[in-house]
């Protein structure tokens, strides 16, 4: 294949998809050298098709992290005895189209096709909506705002895929069937525990209320593990090192399932970000002097306007309401 010669010093393919595979392999595999990142950024800006191609392969990779290895085994042809079976990493980079078909073209049943499904269901919540779930194994779950969850139970395992959003799980005791929650960044293994999982594009945050969990990273290049106990929280990023285990108030973290939100010396910008998860129309913050102001309190999620009404009494800002329902918070000196 023809290679680019200028301004690159690396053998970058001309085809956007091939180049995206090249860069993804290099960046995620820890192969980047000094100066490579500048070439990567130049490549992204060089053609509108480049960032699109790179995002597509990144999306495929994130999806594969939520799929059990059984699905890849199902789509690969039987390998000769003397031929090693391709790893998930090799399979993705050598056959990206097949990987996407495996993720999107197979039914949920095919994910666990080696064993009959006893139960399967999908759940989705809208913005501001909560949903309580209960399953025959005795487990319960609560879905938070804008969450997507898939559940598959067999005779030997209980698999939950949290595609986005947040869920609180209380696992029924069944030592013969481990309870596994998978997100883009993490695997959470539990036999009997109560814990919260929050998933977004950049990280997975897991908080334990009762019992204990084993945490594992999904990335093939970062197979870290950790044991979490009550009132401990761990954040696993999509890229980079794990954060340290933090001691938190787990009941406060999971207060949303009681229709509450708890702030404990929380910066205003973080409070607004959290409230916007539940509000139909956004709250905008344009008060640079007070973005870091720390506030505490307990508020009902269906009464966010109460917080907005009280805010000018706590810090010197004005709350400007617009006809479309959106809100702008500005410094009093700018009004």
Q: What digits encode the pLDDT tens for the residues 252-295?
A: 999 999 999 999 999 999 999 999 999 999 999 999 999 999 99
**Greatest mean pLDDT range, 4-18, 77-91, 266-280:** 266-280
Q: Is the pLDDT of residue 6 over 80?
A: no
Of the spans 84-98, 209-223, 306-320, which averages the highest pLDDT?
306-320
Distance of CA 97 to the CA centre of its chain: 23
Least confident of 171-180, 215-224, 239-248, 259-268: 215-224
Q: How far apart (Å, rounded) are the C-alpha atoms in residues 111 and 115?
A: 10
Look up residue 244 and give its two tokens.
């340290």
pTM of the complete model beyond 0.75: no
Residue 203 or 219, more confident: 203
What is the average pLDDT value for the chain, to the nearest integer? 80
How many whole angstroms separate alpha carbon 41 and alpha carbon 196?
37
State the pairing for strand pair 179-182/158-170. Answer: parallel
Q: Quote the pLDDT of residue 66.
A: 56
Asked if residue 49 has pLDDT above 70, the reply is: yes
Q: Which residues contact 125 (CB under 8 A, 6 or more apart)?
A: 131, 143, 144, 145, 146, 147, 165
């Amino acid at each position: 294949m023809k290679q680019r010669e200028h301004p690159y010093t690396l053998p970058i393919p001309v085809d956007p998809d091939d180049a995206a595979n090249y860069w993804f392999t290099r960046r995620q595999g820890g192969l980047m050298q000094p100066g490579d990142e500048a070439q990567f950024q130049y490549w992204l800006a060089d053609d509108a098709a480049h960032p699109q191609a790179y995002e597509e392969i990144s999306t495929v990779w994130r999806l594969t992290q939520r799929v059990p290895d059984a699905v890849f085994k199902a789509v690969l042809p039987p390998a000769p005895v003397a031929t090693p079976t391709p790893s998930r990493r090799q399979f993705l980079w050598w056959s990206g189209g097949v990987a996407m078909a495996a993720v999107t073209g197979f039914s949920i049943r095919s994910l666990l096709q080696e064993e009959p499904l006893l139960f399967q269901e999908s759940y989705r919540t809208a913005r501001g909506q909560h949903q309580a779930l209960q399953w025959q194994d005795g487990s319960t779950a609560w879905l938070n705002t804008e969450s997507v969850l898939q559940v598959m139970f067999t005779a030997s395992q209980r698999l939950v895929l949290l595609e986005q959003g947040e869920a609180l799980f209380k696992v029924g005791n069944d030592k013969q069937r481990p309870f596994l929650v998978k997100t883009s960044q993490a695997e959470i293994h539990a036999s009997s525990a109560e814990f919260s999982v929050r998933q977004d594009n950049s990280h997975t945050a897991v908080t334990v209320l009762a019992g204990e969990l084993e945490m594992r990273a999904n990335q093939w290049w970062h197979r870290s593990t950790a044991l979490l106990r009550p009132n401990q929280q761990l954040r696993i990023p999509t890229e980079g090192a794990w954060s340290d285990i933090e001691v938190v108030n787990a009941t406060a973290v999971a207060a949303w399932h009681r229709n509450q939100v708890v702030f404990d010396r929380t910066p205003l910008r973080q409070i607004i970000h959290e409230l916007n998860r539940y509000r139909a129309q956004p709250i905008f913050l344009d008060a640079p002097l007070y973005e870091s102001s720390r506030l505490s309190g307990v508020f009902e999620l269906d009464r966010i306007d109460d917080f907005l009404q009280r805010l000018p009494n706590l810090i010197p800002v004005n709350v400007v309401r617009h006809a479309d329902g959106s809100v702008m918070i500005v410094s009093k000196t700018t009004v």
